[in-house]
Chains A and B, each alone.
Chain A
Amino acid sequence: MARAAVLGRLTWQVGMVTDIRKETATASTIMIDVPGWPGHAAGQHVDVRLTAEDGYSAQRSYSIASAPGRDRLELTVQRLEDGEVSPYLTDVLMVGYPLELRGPIGGWFVWDTGAGRPVLLVAGGSGVVPLMSMIRARAEIGSRTPFRLVYSVRSPETVLYAAELAERGQAGDGLEVSYVYTRSAPPGAQVRVGRLNPVVLAAPGWTREAAPAVFICGPTGFVEAAASLLVKAGHDPGVIKTERFGPSGGQA
């Protein structure tokens, strides 16, 4: 892969929030200026640490949403009902606040921009964030490598980056976007409500014969189900990379 895997040791750094954009009723994108930010590869994450006045601290990982070439860092945070960190980031954090983080982290769940093989991205809910970084990275370098995003959501209101995905998907440059609605679908849409299934995954040009690299990201149950479907459909497990979001290991 393009980025060297030998890094300096990770240390905690303090960035400043420069902008906050609401993505949905419960998710926001936070733009952070981190002095000396070395840049990142699409798919990497940062660890964010919050500390209360009495020294109590909580830490969570958040995938980087922005493309590598941007000079500021963007994180998209989904507010979890009983979360400890996410409600702070979506409801309390304001422009000008400091935010302590370390990163970029993780060279394994990364799209290698130099590789030519088609890329199948499978997202469950907020699992779309690191995959969006890959889609943005692809656009940034003008790549025409075939990309397909299969994005599973509960309802249209919970889709992140809806307008941007619509625009990019219609650009005709080799990106396809498909949605799976598990609770409710857009009014008038010709889609059945239900979970991810083999038919959705096996679109023309995306079966095992195409041998795409696969990135799956989302809640653990979703990731396991998606990986299982793909392996059963004949995709090589060795080219399937997964990032499970757990209650405390991932976004919370």
Chain B
Amino acid sequence: MGIVSPGFRGRPRSGREKLPPGQYLVTDFPVLSAGPTPRVKTRSWEFRITTETGEVHSWDWAAFQALPAEEFQVDLHCVTKWSKLHTNWRGVSLDTLLAQAQTSAEYALARSYGGYTTNLPLADLLDGQAWVAFEYGGRPLTPEHGGPARLLVPHLYLWKSAKWVQGIDLKAKDEPGFWESLGYHNYGDPWREQRYWGD
């Protein structure tokens, strides 16, 4: 820790809400990105699930919009320490998207337009834990925040919620994604503060 700067307070950090260890509350919605914002038009958008045997299930925007969607409210926890609570979204559950996939794979790799990847156990995408979300705060998801659609897996750190999601590959073998291959924890549970390798 550095020397204390007399009189420095920093951004407001609330102590009242229950947050995962090391997090502070924000009321804005920071935008983090590893590259330029992809600009994907819905007319060329495609979401694809590929199983470990090569079986492919894909949806264009119209097909995706025809799927049953739900509204939900979740808390977001970013590994850079900000948390944003009670965020409102609309999206399609991964349970719906994975319903037809025949798989015995245990792992998943989410891929985004622009090249970003992130990995997680397939089990963490199921049972109401994950969505492909396309509306935030009642409006279409903006490109800045991952639109047209992003993955949302709120029980893990937000880097697992791949913006501009393009597809999910189901894999027999775990493959670390973009940040997981450079020091970030392979699983990423904010409540156990799993930020980095070895945490």
Q: What B residues does A98 contact at CB under 8 A?
A: 3, 5-6
Contact of B7 among A49, A58, A92 (CB under 8 A): A92
B184 at the interface (CB under 8 A from A): no
Q: Mark A1-25, 1 if CB is under 8 A from B, else 0.
A: 0000000000010100000000000
Contacts of A14 in B (CB 8 A): 3
Q: Say yes or no: A56 contacts B2, CB within 8 Å.
A: no
Give Cα A121–Cα B103 distance, bound, in whole angstroms.
61
Q: For B8, B9, B11, which residue has the most chain A Cβ atoms within 10 angstroms? A: B8
- Is A88 within 8 A of B5, CB to CB? yes
**CB–CB A51/B13 < 8 A:** no
The answer to the question of B157 belonging to the interface, with a C-beta cut-off of 8 Å to chain A, is no
Which chain A residues border B10 with CB–CB below 8 Å? 50, 52, 56-58, 84
Cβ of A125 to closest chain B Cβ, rounded Å: 22
A-side interface residues, number (CB < 8 Å): 20
Bits for B1-40, please: 1 = Cβ < 8 Å to A, else 0.
1111111111101000000000010000000000000000
A51 to B4, CA, bound (A): 5
The residue in A52, A93, A98 that gathers the most chain B C-beta atoms within 10 A of its C-beta is: A52
Q: Which residues of A from 42 to 56 have beta carbons under 8 Å from B?
A: 49-56
Main secondary structure of the interface of B (DSSP, over half): loop
Q: Which residues of B contact A88 (CB under 8 A)?
A: 5, 7-8
Are B1 and A55 neighbours in the complex by a CB distance under 8 Å?
yes
- B9–A49 CB distance below 8 A: no
The answer to whether A50 and B5 have CB atoms under 8 Å apart is: yes
Task: Evaluate contact between A51 and B3: CB separation under 8 angstroms.
Answer: yes
Contact A51 B5 (CB under 8 A): yes
* Interchain CB contact under 8 A, A100 and B3: yes
CB contacts (< 8 Å) of B7 on chain A: these are 88, 92-93, 97
Q: Contact at A97–B5, with CB atoms within 8 Å?
A: yes
Residues of B within 8 A of A84 (CB): 10-11
Minimum distance in angstroms from A90 CB to a CB of chain B:
13
A99: Cβ under 8 A from any B Cβ? yes
Complex Cα distance A97/B5, Å? 8
Q: What would be 26 A-B contacts, judged by CB atoms less than 8 Å apart?
A: A12-B2, A50-B2, A51-B1, A51-B3, A51-B4, A51-B8, A52-B5, A52-B9, A52-B10, A53-B4, A56-B13, A56-B24, A57-B1, A57-B10, A58-B11, A84-B11, A88-B5, A88-B7, A92-B7, A92-B8, A93-B7, A97-B6, A98-B3, A98-B5, A99-B5, A100-B3
Given contacts A53-B4, A97-B7, A98-B5, 17 further A-B contacts (CB under 8 A): A49-B2, A50-B2, A51-B2, A51-B3, A51-B5, A52-B4, A52-B5, A52-B8, A52-B10, A54-B13, A57-B2, A58-B10, A84-B10, A88-B5, A92-B7, A97-B6, A98-B6
